[in-house]
Structure 1
Amino acid sequence: MKYSISEEKVVFDDHYKMVKAKVTYDTFEGNHISTTRLAFERGDSVAILLLEKDSHSILLTNQFRYPTCKNADGWLLEIPAGSLEENEKPQDCIKREVMEELGYKIKMPKLLSTFYTSPGASTERIFLFYCEVSKNDKIEKGGGNEHENEDIQLVKIPVSQITSKILELKDAKTILALQWFPLNIMNK
């Protein structure tokens, strides 16, 4: 099956971009569909599930998220995450983000998966990692990047509470990571 993209142009360019294009693609019955589509170009991101082994806790962030205010949420518990900078490797980005947000130095994050956040609307992919740390790995304050107006709180969730906590969470990458944990770490 094939597709083609034409007449692609940026229709909004601020902190993020919105691109509009004419797309033509094959159908499963052997025909073609031609239509206009929009794509939110956010760039790729990284996220990480962190286990602090000595406290037997998962490390989460609590931070304000403007887009969630429409549904009266505002602050969300999430795994640490951030946006890749141009030409930055995902492993380097996640190390930088964990230091900025939580103040922990991580050594060898393990890539679990790469996935789209909302493939019907956004080009963003997330590189999801896992890593174990100790209390001694917390070498800086954390709290977010001041230049990005971040205010991030570290939240430790005991591993014993993960399965009950999943139903309270609103962030998809965090739910996915916390579902992975019992299947791959807790039950081994």
Structure 2
Amino acid sequence: MSETHDERAGPRAVIRSREVLSDDWGVLTRYELSYRRYDGSWQDMTRETYDRGHGAVVLPYDPVRGTIVLTRQFRLPAFVTGHDEDLIEACAGLLDARDPETAIRKEAEEETGLTLGRIEKMGVFYMSPGSVTERLHFFLAPYESAVDTASVRGNAGEGEDIRVVEITLEEALAMIEDGRIVDAKTVMLVQHLALRALRADRP
């Protein structure tokens, strides 16, 4: 039987000190803490967290044509780790004090040109909990309107330079399989939509 933390034993961790190392594009903080291990002993450690706020992501899909809408854009962290191609990913953005649904509707209009109607919440997930504090709200949204894939979109003042991509769900799954789509949030949304379609097809 696996051991679990006993809440009656007290807190899981105690923060002993914190220091802001950088407060520019995001906030980088170093923590000195004591952490209670599963065997009840305490361990001292130093860890850092990176905080840019929380965000939201949406995958627009056309249930009739079987298409989805993604974006293509340059991402510095991917580039400096050897990914020379622009990332293909679902439309996403920070909440910036807005509620998740309001934020993602605005991001979708800016990045894809789509005005979303009904949206469906998939869940809220940590994307990199080893160091990044962000929680990401996941949405699906059916669409019917035409998609402009020729224009460059995004807020140029914020460095956004975005192309809109409209492909079939089957094409997206193939792109995940062969490594053309490597963005985790996009993989999660595409596979969730595919599983839902698979369940719907069963008698």
Unaligned runs of 5+ in 2: 6-11
1:59-78 equivalence runs, <5 A: 59-70=69-80, 71-78=82-89
Residue equivalent to 1:99: 109
C-alpha displacement at 1:161, in angstroms? 2.0
- Report the TM-score, using the length of structure 2 for normalisation: 0.85
Determine the structure 1 residue equivalent to 2:92.
81
Deviation of the 1:45 alpha carbon: 0.9
Q: Find the counterpart in structure 2 of residue 34 from structure 1.
A: 44
In the TM superposition, residue 74 of structure 1 has moved relative to its aligned partner by 4.3
What TM-score, normalized to structure 1? 0.91
String of CA shifts for 1:6-32, please: whole Å, max 9, x gaps: 311211111111001112121011111
Deviation string for 1:118-172 (max 9, x for gaps)? Answer: 111110111111110111588xx77111221211111011123232122221100
1:52 to 62, 65, 86: 62
Amino acid across the alignment from 1:73: D
Match of 2:187 in 1: 175
Stretches of structure 1 that go unaligned for 5 or more consecutive residues are: none
| Matches for 1:153-172 after TM superposition, within 5 Å | 153-167=163-177, 168=179, 169-172=181-184
Corresponding residue for residue 12 of structure 1: 22
CA RMSD between the two structures = 1.8
Query: After superposition, what is the alpha-carbon deviation per residue over 1:59-118, rounded to whole angstroms, capped at 9, x for unaligned?
Result: 0000011111121334100000011102x1001000010001001111232110111111
C-alpha distance in 2, partners of 1:14/1:96?
Answer: 24
The residue that corresponds to 2:145 in the other structure is 135
Higher relative CO (Cα under 8 Å, sequence separation at least 6) belongs to 1
Write the distance in 1 (CA, Å) between the matches of 2:198 and 2:161. 31
2:138 matched to 1:147? no
Question: Which of 1 and 2 has greater Rg?
Answer: 2
What is the count of residue pairs matched by the alignment? 185
| Distance in 1 separating the partners of 2:26 and 2:49 | 11
Distance 1:97 1:142, change over 3 A: farther
Identity %: 29
Q: Which amino acid aligns with 2:69?
A: L
